[in-house]
Structure 1
Amino acid sequence: MLEEATRRLLPLETGEFIAQQSHDVSISTNGVHAVAELLIDSLSEGNFNLSSWRDQNILHPREANESAVNWVFVVDTLNFSFWSESEEQKYLVHYGGQVHSGYWALCAAINRALDEGVMDHCVTLQHGIPITSAAYYSQMSLDELAYVLRSDSDTAIPLLRERHGALTESGSVLQQHYNGSFLSCLRKSERSAQRLLHLIITGFSSFRDEGIFQGQPVSFYKRAQILVADLWGCFQGQGDAAFVDIDSITMFADYRVPQALAYLGALKYSDGLLKKLKEGVNFSSGDTEEMEIRGCSIWCVELISKHVGTLLANKGTDSLKQNAVLVDYWLWSYARGHRKELAGIPFHRVRCIYY
């Protein structure tokens, strides 16, 4: 058994540890309480729950079944690095009469592929490109993925080769160990979010979002945790995704949610870090400042969630469901809806497969 000093910390432990040691990022108690008050307002209006999240995400599957599970798995395997160099250089996909950018462009591209017929030896296939079938994508070529994820702007999706590597490797694992379907992996978790998280990070290498902070092995597991949470949302916390320990999942440490937390005053950046952000410095995954932003975001959202719980208890409405997952969903939507306002505190730029 590893000594405690060398054991890799789980995301929540990582957040607390980094927040205690952080130099350039800090958490404001007043800011935490202010964000919690905003969330209470959303709760009372019915805009901060699983049902509203599903209803707003019109590109996500409507039914909770095996096809939906495999759709979610493919999307979250490819769910990283959508930020653009400028507003004029965005990855865009036209689908359903709308123009989608970022993560939603990925969802639109997957749905577009499933919808459209393809030509194979002059025969039109009626059911589109089987992009959510592990038997197909474990063997697909880089050019095939480039076609599926093609942009309707002059800006291609970033990190195409890395996405291809992550997808084909994940498909091979499903073929070898899970009968070609992520539903088998989900069922193996026996409705435990932490057990499913463990299966994901041990079985699928592209999800191992880990690092070393001041000599301590840490983990963030953004994509692995959002995969668990997206399945929970897809199934509305029922059936195979009725995770008894869903509250153990933390926020998903990316670049948009920390930006929202900083804009709302819950996170504070040092002058030196803020200068780098405004200059557009590109950080690397594992840089100290990058891990401080991500780790403090995890702990900040945990504190927000706890304070929301306290406020609900004080109002006698603590039966309303809330946790770090739902707080993250709200903050991510807030960031997308207030991009112009948030521009004064730029997000941190990292080009990697983890977020």
Structure 2
Amino acid sequence: MSNAKLNPRQSGAFIVEHAQHVRIIPAGIEKLTQEIVKGLKEKRIAVENFSQHELHPNPNTNQDDYSKAADWVFVLDTLNFCFWTPNNYTKYKVDGYTGYFALCAAIKRAIKEGLDVINPKFYSDIDLKTLKSIFRSDDGDTEIPLIEKRLEALHEVGKVVIEKYDGKFENIIKKAEKSAVSLLNLIVEEFPCFRDEAEFAGKRVSILKRAQILVADVWSCYRGQGLGYFKDIEQITMFADYRVPQVLVHFGSLEYSHELMEFLKSDTILENGDPREVEIRGASIYIIEQVRDAVIKVLQEQHPEISLDNVNSIVIDQYLWDYRRQHNADLEHIPFHKVVSIYY
């Protein structure tokens, strides 16, 4: 067993090379490339989309909000995992929102109610009763999944930020010295709850969905400027979850073996680290990296008027994640792999 850990891009390529349950289809990658180029031309794909959402922090309101936005993003991504439960398909909703946006709505509601939820002094020793109140659902009955795990995550990260970084996530960002890779490595080293890795075909692979999305959300929130400027942002890959693969199958870039498709249709829960789960997630990373490279080539050759500064796997992932929500009815027939996990 090799101890050398592959980064997410290397992991995606290695996983695809050794995959037994998934197949990459070049024609589907080409189709997806054209979709992304079209989205960029029509300005539907843009870094601004993140901070324009009403539930996301906006660092540009005033000076006080500037660094607070980083703390807000940090709390969101510490809690950004698993919004479904295998034994209860009643969707968790807050202010009519489901999934990740229900989380955002709950945090925003708590801030409006005067709770200092983005301050590690508050959340590093928050109790379960308070957390349950913060995440109360519209129906009053449906609980956000894995509430105890969320409590553990907040305690874990809060204590580290207080003890080592003067209570500000901004100080971790600054320690990375404008390197997205350095920030990613810092997050994974400092906070075990972000350490999304697996053993696969004799190697240690890293998927790092939430750690990467945290770096990406800082970049997106600040629109790649100031605190959000990273000289190597293109090193961040997509965020391998259970929803984007549905879009990849829909576009014909990802194909499951007959056995895997039947398994997914059976609604059986996979263990985190199962080779089938790792293959789906690794293939997702690989495909989006291929698409990104192809998109850049098309833009360079055919659309020199489009700046490449903000064309990366982050904006492609954000677009595909939104695409899945917007085309839910068309994609719902494609089964997704079900894992109860803190990693996505």
- TM-based fold match above 0.5: yes
Offset of residue 11 of structure 1: 0.6
Q: Could you tell me whether the CA contact under 8 Å between 2:85 and 2:340 is conserved in 1?
A: no
Asked if residue 247 in structure 1 is aligned to residue 247 in structure 2, the reply is no
SS at match of 1:129: coil
Considering only aligned residues, what root-mean-square deviation do their CA atoms show, in Å?
A: 1.4
Q: Distance in 2 between matches of 1:24 and 1:291?
A: 10
Q: Could you tell me whether the CA contact under 8 Å between 1:284 and 1:351 is conserved in 2?
A: yes
Q: Could you tell me whether the CA contact under 8 Å between 1:252 and 1:328 is conserved in 2?
A: yes
Q: Distance in 1 between matches of 2:88 and 2:130?
A: 28
Aligned length: 336
1:264-297 Cα offsets, whole Å, 9 max, x none, are: 1111001111111111111011001000000010
- Equivalent AA in structure 1 for residue 108 of structure 2: N
Out of 181, 184, 196, the position equivalent to 1:194 is 181
Q: Distance in 2 between matches of 1:147 and 1:191?
A: 37
Counterpart of 1:123 in structure 2 is none
Asked if residue 106 in structure 1 is aligned to residue 103 in structure 2, the reply is yes
Counterpart of 2:24 in structure 1 is 27
| 1:310-349 pair list within 5 angstroms | 310-317=297-304, 319-320=307-308, 321-349=310-338
1:61-100 Cα offsets, whole Å, 9 max, x none, are: 1225111000000000000001355996100001xxxx11
Offset of residue 310 of structure 1: 1.4
Out of 270, 275, 281, the position equivalent to 1:288 is 275
Asked if residue 308 in structure 1 is aligned to residue 295 in structure 2, the reply is yes
- Equivalent AA in structure 1 for residue 137 of structure 2: S
Counterpart of 1:120 in structure 2 is none
| 1:1-355 pair list within 5 angstroms | 5-55=2-52, 57-64=53-60, 65-83=66-84, 85=86, 89-94=90-95, 99-116=96-113, 128-153=114-139, 154-317=141-304, 319-320=307-308, 321-355=310-344
Q: Distance in 2 between matches of 1:352 and 1:210?
A: 12
Q: Could you tell me whether the CA contact under 8 Å between 2:86 and 2:269 is conserved in 1?
A: no
Q: Distance in 1 between matches of 2:329 and 2:259?
A: 23
Identical aligned pairs, as a percentage? Answer: 43
Q: Distance in 1 between matches of 2:170 and 2:3?
A: 34
Q: Distance in 2 between matches of 1:85 and 1:169?
A: 26
Following TM superposition, where does structure 1 have runs of at least 4 consecutive aligned residues deviating by more than 4 angstroms? 84-88
Please, which runs of 5 or more residues in structure 2 have no aligned partner?
A: 61-65
Offset of residue 198 of structure 1: 0.9
| Higher mean C-alpha deviation, range 153-162 or range 245-254 | 153-162
TM-score scaled by length of structure 1: 0.92
Offset of residue 316 of structure 1: 3.4
Q: Distance in 2 between matches of 1:86 and 1:41?
A: 40
Q: Could you tell me whether the CA contact under 8 Å between 1:84 and 1:91 is conserved in 2?
A: no
In structure 2, do the counterparts of structure 1 residues 342 and 84 end up closer, same or farther at CA, with 3 Å as the change threshold? farther
Please, which runs of 5 or more residues in structure 1 have no aligned partner?
A: 117-127
Counterpart of 1:119 in structure 2 is none
Q: Distance in 2 between matches of 1:268 and 1:188?
A: 41
Offset of residue 219 of structure 1: 0.7
